[in-house]
Structure 1
Amino acid sequence: MPLTEMRYLIAAGMTSVEVIQASTSNAAYVIGQEQHLGTLEAGKLADLIILPGDPLVSIEAFTDVAVVIKGGAVAHSAINVM
């Protein structure tokens, strides 16, 4: 979900947790892919981001992505990762 949409949802009264769930597990459920996407579980596809900030404190943490993992491999890193 684009950050602009996340901001609109926060402004409309959703919590950060609700916005993150709407962007991940709920979105996977809507497209019928909850067995493969949406949560961090063994056997699921590993596309995720690592943020230095806490998106539960502020959704603006999504403006600073430190690491992108796509298909289980580091696709981008702003920090030195092994």
Structure 2
Amino acid sequence: MHVERTELPGIGLRQVITTADGRQVGVVTHLAGGRRDLLYDDPGDPDRMWSLALTRAEALTLAGLLGLLDVVDLPGEVAS
């Protein structure tokens, strides 16, 4: 699967994938504070992306829900 990576100067890194059904979903990882913005496309407007700001703890919890924590052991981190 291809991950489109875009450096956002002064902000962080944007990473987006396109799903099998053509939808786009991704994350902006901010340089400061551990904040992540979950991105997802608007099916009614292909030029629009929606975002949802997540704290580091929320991002880890979401990763756990998606099964990532079943694969990667993060020492000292617990998603609950």
Return the structure number with greater strand share. Answer: 2
Query: Do the structures match in fold with TM over 0.5?
Result: no
Return the structure number with greater helix share. Answer: 1
User: TM-score, length-normalised on structure 1?
Assistant: 0.29
User: TM-score, length-normalised on structure 2?
Assistant: 0.29
